[in-house]
Amino acid sequence: MPRQKNLPQGPRRKRMTREGRLQSATATRWLERYEGKDLIKGYGKWFAVDPLCAVTELRMLGVRIDEERENAIKTSIEGRATARKRRRESALEDRNADCNDTFAQFIGYTAGDVPYGVAWEEIGEHSTTATTGVAIEAKWRNRFYMRRVSDVVGDQEYC
């Protein structure tokens, strides 16, 4: 059997645990040799940690960091998380918005970006609260699971 190659793992400093990073920072005198403007950002990039972890570890190394700066970093992280969540929700709404009047339950898109799902006409009603998603899903599986999507799209007008 041929010998397996070792895959590149990236620099060791980016794979260290907290204990290893602290030991490396003191042994290599990283703090003394750092010449950049933003110590937190530099430490985070060098050791591949987030800014909050960098603040914690720099404090362990004896660096004074203002509470204001730490709070600003926390709010920045929270702001990015909420923005990411908002973007995901709006992307889902945008993707499903074009088919709300046609589909009772939107299943997905085909490889050719044609939407498919269970149409309101197939259920016989046009109320989103009248039918549960489980019943619609079961109806979808029973009627269309084995049919080609092109047949379904060809039979009825979707979006």
Which helix or strand (DSSP H or E) is residue 121 part of?
helix 120-123
Q: How far apart are CA 49 and CA 14, in angstroms?
A: 8
- The angle that helices 51-60 and 67-97 make with each other, rounded to 10 degrees, is 160
Coil, helix or strand for 143?
Answer: helix
The letter for the amino acid at 128 is T
Query: In sequence order, what are the beta bridge partners of 117?
Result: 106
CB 140 within 8 A of CB 104: no
CB 159 within 8 A of CB 99: yes
Domain ranges of the chain: 12-93, 98-155
- Band of the pLDDT at 127, cuts 50, 70, 90? very low
pLDDT tens-digit series, residues 32-87: 999 999 999 999 999 999 999 999 999 999 999 999 999 999 999 999 999 999 99
Q: Which residue has the higher pLDDT, 102 or 18?
A: 18
Q: How far apart are CA 90 and CA 78, in angstroms?
A: 18
- Strand segments, DSSP code E, in the chain are 103-109, 115-119
Q: Is the pLDDT of residue 148 over 90?
A: no
Q: Is the pLDDT of residue 135 over 90?
A: no
Q: Is pTM beyond 0.85 here?
A: no
- 64 φ, ψ to 5°? -85, 125
